[in-house]
Structure 1
Amino acid sequence: MTELRDAVVTGSLPFPRRPRPNLRSGTPAGSRPLLARVNAVAVLLLALDCAAWATAVVRTAPGPAGAAVTAAALAGARLGGRVHRRRLWLSWLQDLPRSVTTAALAFALVTGVGIVAGMDGNRTAEMQEVVLFSAVLGESVRPLVFALGRWGRRRLRRCDRAVVVGSGHLAGELVRTMLEHPEFGLLPVGVAVPAGDPAPAGLPIETIGDDLTEAITRLRAGTVILAPGDDRDSAVVAAAISAHRAGCVTLVLPHLFELCPDGPGVDRLRSYPLVWLGGVPTRRPSWWVKRFVETALAAAALVVLMPVIAGCALAVLLESGFPVFFRQVRVGMDGRTFLLYKLRSVRPSGVDDSQVRWSVAGDSRVGPVGRFLRKTSLDELPQLWNVVRGDMSLVGPRPERPVFVHEFSAVHDLYWARHRVPTGLTGLAQVHGLRGDTSIADRARYDNYYIANWSLWLDVKIIILTVGELLCRRQR
């Protein structure tokens, strides 16, 4: 216990040794060459839509206002419908319903704008004609773009280098399919199979050991395909996180893939359905919006709530003296430690067990002021400073002490995965009642669900639920 405590104080406590990616040393996405991340077919489809719109505008001459409205409607509908997305299966017939739907939506949008803006019937008809003509012209050329893409993949080997992770049989079948059908745009360069499974025989590619991140970098892979088979979910998640950290596109062959229907986010490698996994939230542009807004809100809240914090600090001082603030080492994103600030709710004693004692529920050292602060969560207000400093976010998995991160990561398979994003002042687990001495496995599941489904709206919902929970708690 003394050794553990010393490690906690110095911040040198390591994560347990288990098969997972090194979150600190993952290769950044920016290390891949820019041209390797550009999809030629997607660029050609976007250029085709722009050219079709420009031709329709020149032909119809709807005026500057009409041109602007049609451009906005087409761009919004086509980009929202993801008709220019990167894809494996280059099939015009497969994509036709989506393309027609987006054109119909753009037609409805320009019609609605014409009615709401009170445009005369001729101007509205001209905008409708632009949308219809550009759609017809674009669709007449799109089959040629798809055919050109398939030809380039087969003859010029314009394929993304791919690594397959999974059971020997499934991995081997996927690799053989990619080798025999390069028109799907994947060139297998490595295969990683779990320990104990036989490596696929007779394949002209490398068998990868334990370090997937190193292999991705060395083989210059841009896509990782997960074919889990009978692997544990934790091993599959570890491989997915390694791929995300290396900036790779990640595709998953689902269980019962023979019954998996086509749908949003599902692509095809011949008869194999592959699900596109979203990357880590911290690489999305909306994450920078989250960071900016949360920093501004936290700074404003610190200023507004300073009298409340000062009043609470005075109450702590009168009850049990100095110090009024409490500092504790917590684990944040990528396993980095930081000092978390709280108002002290436990009377000082000769023994500091704050780093190794899980809960103070029922502790005689918690006085009336401390109980009130903990019940109302007012003791957490100084953590707004941690948000301003960038140690934490307003919303995210709650940070834990290093010794318990070590313990929980050794017991719960995917507890370590919650450190892919910054920790938060409140989180999805907390608004579902997982506070204090509650299930760690449930917390980890909620935290990983939050990361996988993160959006700005999800953060807003969590903040609203947090405020509601605090109000209800104060009334009890």
Structure 2
Amino acid sequence: MTELKDAVLTEAVPAQRHDRPGDRRGDRRSAWPRDRRDNPVRGRPLLARVNAVAVLLGAVDGAAWLTAVLRTGTGPVCAVVTAAALAGTRVGGRVHRRRLWLSWLQDLPRSVTATALAFALVTGTALLAGMDGDDTARMQEVVLFFAVLSEGVRPAVFAFGRWGRRRLRRCDRAVVVGSGRICGELVRTMLEHPEFGLLPVGVVASAPDPAPTGLPVEPISGDLTDAIARLRAGTVILAPAGDGDGAVVDAAITAHRLGCVTLVLPHLFELCADGPGVDRLRSYPLVWLGGAPTRRPSWWVKRAVETTLAAAALLALAPVIACCALAVALESGFPVFFRQVRVGMDGGTFVLYKLRSVRQAAVDDSQTRWSVLGDSRVGPVGRFLRRSSLDELPQLWNVVRGDMSLVGPRPERPVFVHEFSAVHDLYWARHRVPTGLTGLAQVHGLRGDTSIADRARYDNYYIANWSLWLDLKIVILTVGELLCRRQR
């Protein structure tokens, strides 16, 4: 059964402890802002984050489509079909993406492939819809005329973008995290070739090696979050000096959380081939890291769907909750609901609601004590509520309020978050998204007496690979666990 009851944990702290005095991992808790609004990237005006070349490429495609429609005299239905096909294939193919290397020839295969796919889509749509030959021919003509117009203007857009970067210094302010010779050469390349759109304004040394010297950029020895805000940087470039560079991993997660564009110079970059998500700064391949899930349009879809489902479930299950509350009151009195402070997104706290399954004691130690299996304070009703996960139903109200999501890392109490963050690598990083009623770690059997480190790895994997389909898959697995009562 999925672990919807993280209060029933029998593992206090795993044996592989590393919380020795001075361990740098214990300082990672301070990476979270004191207030969720303290985000330097969110504070920048929207226009400062708009990529002019991407906007111009989109405008060129729109003008080319409109010209092609007017030129061919296509009807409204056919115009809508061609617009949908072209927009879908070119957006899906990331033809208008933000990029460093403004090269028409480099981008031509991607653009032609997207247009060819649009041609195939309009042809297939016409055949399936039973359109006559004239309408089909007009739609095909629109796509072909669009291709000629668009590809004829795109080289000028790329040339204008390179000119603007060189002459007008329309470059993104960037902080480089790294050390050694490669880091220095990367900074010099950006300074000597502004047509790639990056202006280095600071270098953060990745321990233990020092930052490169002799460069006209600011060496940064303090907190990366403060440096991003002070230098007004919107891009972070990671150039690790070797394997296992923990400072670079921390910097990547910090940049990811703040919404910065994050680029990584991979190890063995000399052998790195061009491909999806790989851009070029002269001869250096830079890999684009995906943006924070909470900044994607699909995240708002997740939030809307989860709020609706949670509200509907809360109403439908209200009689069940009332019966469980009555049973709790008869067994151990009032109050029937249990409130506990938990840590949520960006380290903020909220009050989590549950049906009380533990008899009240004279002293409330629930914030600092595990409720273990076999706890004498848990009566028959409490054991039933825990086994059936019915004690978790009031958390649907937390979902409706926005404190939690249906799917996400399970929330924990502040004292244990503080302790686990000092002991386990990247435990603190799991708070980049809202906590959830169920999560990827729980459906993979990480509940009860299991490794906290493994849970943190699953939670960070969930954040890095988040999608609506992944959420749906976790929900399906959760329902299966609850129905089948599978004990892993």
Q: TM-score, normalised by structure 1?
A: 0.92
1:390 and 1:432 mapped to 2: Cα distance? 25
Deviation at 1:205, TM superposition (A): 1.0
Which residue identity does 1:77 align to in structure 2?
T
Q: Say yes or no: does 1:395 pair with 2:407.
A: yes
The one-character-per-residue Cα deviations of 1:11-65 (angstroms, maximum 9, x if unpaired) are: xxxx953376233354243322333212222122112212221222222112222
Q: Say yes or no: does 1:84 pair with 2:77.
A: no
Q: Is the 8 A contact 1:267 1:275 kept in 2?
A: yes
Give the unaligned 5+ runs of structure 1: 1-14
Deviation at 1:346, TM superposition (A): 2.0
Deviation at 1:460, TM superposition (A): 1.3
With 16-25 and 333-342 compared, the bigger mean Cα shift is at 16-25
The one-character-per-residue Cα deviations of 1:309-366 (angstroms, maximum 9, x if unpaired) are: 1222222233333332222221111222222111122233334332222342122222
Pairing 1:284-323 to 2, within 5 Å after superposition: 284-323=296-335
The one-character-per-residue Cα deviations of 1:225-274 (angstroms, maximum 9, x if unpaired) are: 01122374542233223324444211111222222222111111112111
Q: Is the 8 A contact 2:272 2:285 kept in 1?
A: yes
Deviation at 1:147, TM superposition (A): 2.2
Q: Is the 8 A contact 1:266 1:276 kept in 2?
A: yes
1:326 and 1:144 mapped to 2: Cα distance? 64
Q: CA RMSD in A?
A: 2.1
Pairing 1:193-204 to 2, within 5 Å after superposition: 193-204=205-216
Q: Is the 8 A contact 1:167 1:230 kept in 2?
A: no
Q: Is the 8 A contact 1:166 1:231 kept in 2?
A: no
Tell me which residue corresponds to 2:27.
Answer: 17
Tell me which residue corresponds to 1:442.
Answer: 454
Percent of residue pairs identical: 82
Which residue identity does 1:29 align to in structure 2?
V
With 239-248 and 119-128 compared, the bigger mean Cα shift is at 239-248
Which of residues 326, 329, 335 in structure 1 aligns to 2:347? 335
1:340 and 1:199 mapped to 2: Cα distance? 45
Q: Say yes or no: does 1:254 pair with 2:246.
A: no
2:177 is paired with a residue whose SS is strand
Pairing 1:420-439 to 2, within 5 Å after superposition: 420-439=432-451
Tell me which residue corresponds to 1:135.
Answer: 147
Alpha carbons of 1:27 and 1:397: their partners in 2 closer, same or farther (altered >3 Å)?
same
Q: Is the 8 A contact 2:72 2:141 kept in 1?
A: yes
Q: Is the 8 A contact 2:32 2:347 kept in 1?
A: no
2:234 and 2:345 mapped to 1: Cα distance? 25
Q: Is the 8 A contact 2:29 2:428 kept in 1?
A: no
Deviation at 1:284, TM superposition (A): 2.1
Q: Is the 8 A contact 2:190 2:196 kept in 1?
A: yes
2:62 and 2:281 mapped to 1: Cα distance? 29
Which residue identity does 1:23 align to in structure 2?
P
Which residue identity does 1:286 align to in structure 2?
S
Tell me which residue corresponds to 2:13.
Answer: none
> Paired residues, what number?
462
Alpha carbons of 1:386 and 1:145: their partners in 2 closer, same or farther (altered >3 Å)?
same
Q: Say yes or no: does 1:215 pair with 2:227.
A: yes
2:338 is paired with a residue whose SS is strand
Tell me which residue corresponds to 2:126.
Answer: 114
With 212-221 and 263-272 compared, the bigger mean Cα shift is at 212-221
The one-character-per-residue Cα deviations of 1:163-184 (angstroms, maximum 9, x if unpaired) are: 1011232321110111122221
1:290 and 1:278 mapped to 2: Cα distance? 18
Pairing 1:31-180 to 2, within 5 Å after superposition: 31-180=43-192
Q: Is the 8 A contact 1:415 1:444 kept in 2?
A: yes
1:251 is paired with a residue whose SS is strand
The one-character-per-residue Cα deviations of 1:96-134 (angstroms, maximum 9, x if unpaired) are: 111111011110111112112211101101110110111
Which residue identity does 2:314 align to in structure 1?
L
Q: Is the 8 A contact 2:206 2:248 kept in 1?
A: no
Give the unaligned 5+ runs of structure 2: 1-24
1:474 and 1:271 mapped to 2: Cα distance? 53
Alpha carbons of 1:200 and 1:234: their partners in 2 closer, same or farther (altered >3 Å)?
closer
Q: Is the 8 A contact 1:227 1:253 kept in 2?
A: yes
With 196-205 and 119-128 compared, the bigger mean Cα shift is at 196-205
1:28 and 1:287 mapped to 2: Cα distance? 21
Tell me which of the two structures has the higher relative contact order, counting C-alpha pairs closer than 8 angstroms and 6 or more residues apart. Answer: 2
2:389 and 2:170 mapped to 1: Cα distance? 56
Alpha carbons of 1:329 and 1:19: their partners in 2 closer, same or farther (altered >3 Å)?
closer
Which residue identity does 2:31 align to in structure 1?
P
2:34 and 2:299 mapped to 1: Cα distance? 20
Alpha carbons of 1:120 and 1:419: their partners in 2 closer, same or farther (altered >3 Å)?
same
Which of residues 337, 341, 348 in structure 1 aligns to 2:360? 348
Q: Say yes or no: does 1:460 pair with 2:472.
A: yes
1:156 and 1:418 mapped to 2: Cα distance? 40
Tell me which residue corresponds to 2:422.
Answer: 410
Q: Say yes or no: does 1:240 pair with 2:252.
A: yes
2:179 and 2:293 mapped to 1: Cα distance? 28
Tell me which residue corresponds to 1:206.
Answer: 218
Tell me which residue corresponds to 1:471.
Answer: 483
Q: Is the 8 A contact 1:29 1:247 kept in 2?
A: yes
Tell me which residue corresponds to 1:364.
Answer: 376
The one-character-per-residue Cα deviations of 1:276-298 (angstroms, maximum 9, x if unpaired) are: 11222222222222222212211
Which residue identity does 1:296 align to in structure 2?
T
Which of residues 190, 198, 219 in structure 1 aligns to 2:202? 190
The one-character-per-residue Cα deviations of 1:375-403 (angstroms, maximum 9, x if unpaired) are: 11111111111112222111111011111
2:131 is paired with a residue whose SS is coil
1:33 and 1:391 mapped to 2: Cα distance? 27
Which residue identity does 1:385 align to in structure 2?
W
With 326-335 and 362-371 compared, the bigger mean Cα shift is at 362-371
Q: TM-score, normalised by structure 2?
A: 0.90
1:30 is paired with a residue whose SS is coil
